[in-house]
Amino acid sequence: MSTRDLFTFSNRHFSIGVGVTAAILIVTAIAGFVVLPFAQPWVQFAGVWDAICSAAGLPQRAPKVIAPEQGKRLSEVVLTSGTLSRPSQEAIGRGATLAQRCAICHGPTGISRADSPNLAGQYAAVIYKELHDFRSGARTNAVMSPFAVNLADEEIADLSNYYAYLPRLPAYHPTPQLPKPNIVIYGAPMRGIAPCGSCHGSLDNKTGSPWLEGQSEAYMKAQLKAFASDERHNDISQQMRNIARAMSPQEIEAAAAYYASQPPDIVKAVD
Amino acid sequence: MLVNRKLILAHFWLAFGVFGVALTLGAWQMFIRSPIGTWLSNPELYYRSLTAHGTVMGYVFPTLVAMGFGYAIAESALEQRLVGVRWAWTGFWLIVVGSVMAVIPIALGRASVLYTFYPPLIGNLFYYLGVVLVVVGSWIWVALMSINLRVWRKAHPGAPVPLAMFANVAGSYLWAWTAVGAALELLLQIIPVAAGLKNTIDAGLARIFFSWTLHAIVYFWLMPTYIAYYTIVPRAIGGRVYSDAMARISFILFLVVAMPIGMHHTFADPQVGAGFKFIHSAFTALVALPTLLTVFTICASVEIAARLRGGRGMFGWIRALPWDNPMMLALAFSFVMLGFGGAGGLINMSYQLDTTIHNTQWITGHFHLIFGGAIVIMYFAIAYDLWPHLTGRELVDIRLIRTQLWLWFIGMIVTTFPWHWVGILGMPRRMAYFDFSDPAIAPQALSVTFSVIGGFILLASGIMFIIILARGMRAPQADAGAYRFALAVHQPTTVPVALNTHALWVALMIALTITNYGYPILNLATAAGTSVPAVYVGAQ
């Protein structure tokens, strides 16, 4: 007997094998695409074909649903690996020239003497995102917004690359290093707070999250409070706002004091 | 007729060597995230280790065991020299090179993506290329199994293919087809991104491709175990296979229904329609069929052995079984673990019940019990059974072998039962650490501590296993005779062509893949706006 005799309905094994498989498939398909969709009283279908399309996973436009009005501008920055990869020396040089206007607050070496963020050695993606947000109005600040509003895309990229290129220097007034508080290392699982350290350094660093070691304590506290009160809202999907709202005042103090006391040279290097 | 013993031994030693390393990493992972370990403060190291553990245990170890055992079956069951020995060595070296190529980026922390890849997470290109080489190496084995059977058929026209080889080739075809899903994911989705040609990825589509591989791969891992149930155990305990036809039906059923069921891994994924999830769920239920057939046939085969040994009564024969025989012990342990694991699997495949345990430690417990327990304990048994024939030396440490099997069984139960339990309590899987001082999860600390003890029992058992095999290489020489497989009560003289060839069942497997995967893949591939930016490991 050759395979030619196998693939014919006169062969019992073939007809039973194919028949049973097809029957199971048809029965499960009818159950999955017709019976079960209609068994859900909370879902309304226009007809059988509508139910089949829904069960097949065909994307459908929801009718008569108006997107909620968005009162505030949200961040529109998309970061991909290609956004800021491999800056040229010229780009960094242009950034250095542009950065002269930033030095009044952020310091001539990127280390602030005025409770503004230290930018020396900050991840390029972070500066890139914040400048874009200041420019678009997703983040506002009486001092920063006017500086950002006239920047071109290339200038933002150059500034980001310049500050990322600078060496990470100690803070202007270094304080003794504090031990890690629970909020940084464990978060607060009962209140849905992930550990600060899982994105901002000490445990791990994630794309778009700044490292915080040696930053101004006053600045970090102010930002957490701004997130909590919705005054700052350029975090995607409210990830920082949800955390800041759930944090206790003591936790905000502890996290800010801890990060301010850390030397920035422990920050994980970027490739 | 085992001629190419070096080839088979090379596969087994590499398999068990990497298994030992991955087992050690696994025990360390359990310890470090438990209440008795001190937290590392660096989750990246944990995920590095987890990626290495999964990649070795999922791709390298079982593939090498299936390949080595497959070559042994091809030579001894067909009683002919292996055709394509040079190709077999090429396949072996591809796996060696692929494994090294994959492990280096993992060790450097450039590919902590876990063995399931998790796009849009993207690691170093060489990790993926290494995995591809391992798969290509194993495809050479698939081709060789098919060619060797063809050569034998030419020399024995119309004769029934020996059961071991029939099952072995079924397993190789299942692997060839199921690996296509991950291959498509790697080649079309991940590698272009890892190589820097693209920087967005369709994570939903990639997950569907991976589910194509991820469930049937388990049945590929299972094949050597089932072959051992049918063709080694009855012979080793002095019995006969109850039914040759039932065995063949079980293997072809695996071929047909193991494949189109992978979407029960994506029940929580929004990109798949509920109708397809239901079909996959229903077909997953069908996969219990060949396992139930196997349990029935093997219990009947074992009963034959017991009655031949003078066992009497409805259940009294159980006492007459050769319980001091390692093969008997391994089979019993394997069945117990398969029973518990299979029962848990019925919960995973049920759309509604799955929601309670989805992505919890229950799942980790489930697949360790099935794979690490029921399957791997039979890998040990296969190695013990083949070793004297491969080395030409006797394995003298029978007591040690029994202890090793007992420890593996106890260790696996102590590890996985608490995992199932904390999973029901809601403990998520793939977490680098837990704060057990938190009142919300403090009650789970005791269960987790028990499972760590189980992990160390497993480690001890794994070390014993490697010591036994290594000592077996230096034991005094002894002729073990020809390697034989179990005979059936009614040894077949003619077999219907459908049960003697794979073509019909491979065709059904491919047809069901098209019906159950075709539309979801096409739908996602053609939908616009489904890609997201890739997240590169280690990038800030």
* Cα B20 → chain centroid: 16
Partner residue facing B512 (CB), from A3, A11, A21: A21
Comparing alpha-carbon positions, the chain A residue that sits nearest to B516 is: A25
The yes-or-no answer on residue B235 being catalytic is: no
pLDDT-derived band at A271, boundaries 50, 70, 90: very low
Please indicate, yes or no, if residue A80 is contained in any of the structural domains: no
Buried b (16+ CB within 10 A) or exposed e, A82-116: ebbeebeeebbebbbebbeebeebbbeebbbeeeb
The strand ranges marked E within B380-426 are: none
The whole-angstrom separation of Cα A125 and Cα A270 is 11
The answer to whether the CB of B144 falls within 8 A of the CB of B82 is yes
DSSP 3-state assignment of A212?
coil
Comparing alpha-carbon positions, the chain A residue that sits nearest to B519 is: A56
Q: Is the pLDDT of residue A69 over 70?
A: no
Residue appearing with tokens 């422990």? A266
pLDDT-derived band at A82, boundaries 50, 70, 90: low
The answer to whether the CB of B78 falls within 8 A of the CB of B147 is no
Contact B498 A18 (CB under 8 A): no
Nearest Cα neighbor of B208 from B269, B256, B279 is B269
What are the angstrom distances between the C-alpha of B398 and each of A22, B323, B329, B330, B395? 50, 12, 12, 13, 7
pLDDT for B38? 82
Contact B283 A28 (CB under 8 A): yes
pLDDT for A86? 80
The whole-angstrom separation of Cα B373 and Cα B350 is 23
For chain A, positions 136-165, list CB contacts with chain B under 8 A: none
Q: How far off is chain B from A230, nearest CA to CA, in Å? A: 26
The answer to whether the CB of B464 falls within 8 A of the CB of B407 is yes
Residues of B in contact with A24 (CB under 8 A): 282-283, 286
The whole-angstrom separation of Cα B469 and Cα B488 is 30
Q: Is A7 on the interface with B (CB under 8 A)?
A: yes
Q: How far off is chain A from B109, nearest CA to CA, in Å? A: 12
Mean pLDDT of B183-187: 95
Catalytic residue among B117, B210, B219, B380: B219
Number of H helices, E strands in chain B: 20, 4
The whole-angstrom separation of Cα B84 and Cα A31 is 49
Structural domain count of chain A: 3
For residue B120, say if its preceding peptide bond is cis, omega within 30 degrees of 0: yes
DSSP 3-state assignment of B201?
strand
Q: Is A4 on the interface with B (CB under 8 A)?
A: no
pLDDT for B34? 93
The yes-or-no answer on residue B429 being catalytic is: yes
Please indicate, yes or no, if residue A78 is contained in any of the structural domains: no
Count Cβ–Cβ pairs < 8 Å, chain A vs chain B: 134
Per DSSP bridges, beta strands B200-201 and B532-533 are antiparallel
Residues of B in contact with A11 (CB under 8 A): 497-498
Tokens for A74, please give them: 């949200």
The yes-or-no answer on residue B368 being catalytic is: yes
Please indicate, yes or no, if residue A79 is contained in any of the structural domains: no
Query: Left (φ > 0), alpha (ψ -120 to 50) or beta: where does B483 sit?
Result: beta
The yes-or-no answer on residue B420 being catalytic is: no
Q: Is the pLDDT of residue B41 over 80?
A: no
The answer to whether the CB of B25 falls within 8 A of the CB of B19 is no
Angle at A237 between CA A236 and CA A243, to 5 degrees: 95
pLDDT-derived band at B221, boundaries 50, 70, 90: very high
Q: Which domain holds residue A49?
A: 3-56
Q: How far off is chain A from B215, nearest CA to CA, in Å? A: 19
Please indicate, yes or no, if residue A69 is contained in any of the structural domains: no
DSSP B477: B
Residues of B in contact with A18 (CB under 8 A): 504, 508
Q: Is the pLDDT of residue A246 over 70?
A: yes
Please indicate, yes or no, if residue A66 is contained in any of the structural domains: no
pLDDT for B217? 95
In sequence order, which residues have a C-beta less than 8 Å from that of residue A35 and are 6 or more positions away?
Answer: none
The answer to whether the CB of B116 falls within 8 A of the CB of B359 is no
Contact B275 A37 (CB under 8 A): yes
The amino acid at residue B316 is G
One domain for residues A191 and A150: no
List for chain B the helix, strand, coil content (%; round to 5): 70, 5, 25
Mean pLDDT of B443-471: 97
* pLDDT one-digit tens code per residue, B340-369: 999 999 999 998 899 999 999 999 999 999
Partner residue facing A57 (CB), from B271, B283, B534: B271
Comparing alpha-carbon positions, the chain B residue that sits nearest to A197 is: B41
The whole-angstrom separation of Cα B246 and Cα B239 is 16
The answer to whether the CB of B164 falls within 8 A of the CB of B73 is yes
Partner residue facing B538 (CB), from A5, A33, A271: A271
Q: How far off is chain A from B40, nearest CA to CA, in Å? A: 9
Which CATH number belongs to the domain containing residue A124 in this structure? 1.10.760.10
The answer to whether the CB of B2 falls within 8 A of the CB of B75 is yes
* pLDDT one-digit tens code per residue, A36-52: 999 988 888 888 999 99
The whole-angstrom separation of Cα B297 and Cα B290 is 10
Q: Is A74 on the interface with B (CB under 8 A)?
A: no
Q: How far off is chain A from B183, nearest CA to CA, in Å? A: 24
pLDDT for B537? 85
Q: Is the pLDDT of residue B57 over 80?
A: yes
Which of A147-151, B97-101, B118-122 ranks highest by mean pLDDT? B97-101
Mean pLDDT of B241-255: 96
Tokens for B210, please give them: 């991976």
Contact A186 B435 (CB under 8 A): yes
H or E stretch including B143? helix B125-155
Q: Is A62 on the interface with B (CB under 8 A)?
A: no
Residues of A in contact with B539 (CB under 8 A): 81, 207, 270-271
The whole-angstrom separation of Cα B329 and Cα A129 is 62
In sequence order, which residues have a C-beta less than 8 Å from that of residue B512 and are 6 or more positions away?
Answer: A21, A25, B256, B257, B259, B260, B283
In sequence order, which residues have a C-beta less than 8 Å from that of residue B319 and are 6 or more positions away?
Answer: B311
DSSP 3-state assignment of B535?
strand
The yes-or-no answer on residue B215 being catalytic is: yes
Q: Is A125 on the interface with B (CB under 8 A)?
A: yes
Number of H helices, E strands in chain A: 14, 0
DSSP 3-state assignment of A109?
coil
Region of poorest pLDDT, from A170-174, B226-230, B232-236, B502-506: A170-174
Nearest Cα neighbor of B344 from B369, B375, B372, B371 is B369
What are the angstrom distances between the C-alpha of A164 and each of A135, A200, A204, B540? 20, 16, 18, 11
Q: Which residues pair with B394 in a beta bridge?
A: none
**More confident: A74 or A2:** A74
What are the angstrom distances between the C-alpha of A194 and each of A185, B228, B411? 9, 48, 34
Mean pLDDT of B57-71: 97
Residues of B in contact with A35 (CB under 8 A): none
One domain for residues A96 and A159: yes
Q: Tell me the average pLDDT of chain A.
A: 88
DSSP A205: B
H or E stretch including A183? helix A182-185
The whole-angstrom separation of Cα B10 and Cα B388 is 15
Residue appearing with tokens 């075809």? B173
pLDDT for B100? 97
The CB density around residue B12, as the number of other CB atoms within 10 Å, is: 23
Residues of A in contact with B527 (CB under 8 A): 59
Contact B438 A190 (CB under 8 A): yes
Catalytic residue among B267, B333, B367, B485: B367
Mean pLDDT of B218-227: 96
Q: Tell me the average pLDDT of chain B.
A: 94
Please give the share of chain B, as a percent, with pLDDT higher than 70: 99
Please indicate, yes or no, if residue A72 is contained in any of the structural domains: no
One domain for residues A46 and A107: no
The CB density around residue B320, as the number of other CB atoms within 10 Å, is: 17
In sequence order, which residues have a C-beta less than 8 Å from that of residue A46 and are 6 or more positions away?
Answer: none
The whole-angstrom separation of Cα B31 and Cα B196 is 37
Residues of A in contact with B501 (CB under 8 A): 3, 6
Comparing alpha-carbon positions, the chain B residue that sits nearest to A51 is: B275
CB-facing half-sphere around the CA of B263: CA atoms within 13 A: 28
Helix ranges restricted to H, B156-243: 163-184, 191-194, 203-231, 233-236
CATH of B5-431+444-530, one of 1.20.210.10, 3.40.50.620, 1.10.3720.10, 2.30.30.180: 1.20.210.10
Residue appearing with tokens 């053609």? B526
Q: How far off is chain B from A173, nearest CA to CA, in Å? A: 27
The amino acid at residue B356 is T
Which of A12, A50, A203, A266 is the best mutation test for B, with the most CBs of B within 10 A?
A203
Q: Is the pLDDT of residue B259 over 60?
A: yes
The whole-angstrom separation of Cα A132 and Cα A109 is 22
Please indicate, yes or no, if residue A211 is contained in any of the structural domains: yes
The whole-angstrom separation of Cα B111 and Cα B101 is 11
The whole-angstrom separation of Cα B336 and Cα B315 is 17
In sequence order, which residues have a C-beta less than 8 Å from that of residue A118 and are 6 or more positions away?
Answer: A106, A107, A110, A111, A112, A169, A171, A214, A215, A216, A264
pLDDT for B379? 98
pLDDT for A63? 63
Q: Is A206 on the interface with B (CB under 8 A)?
A: yes
Partner residue facing B435 (CB), from A52, A123, A189: A189
Catalytic residue among B48, B207, B215, B420: B215
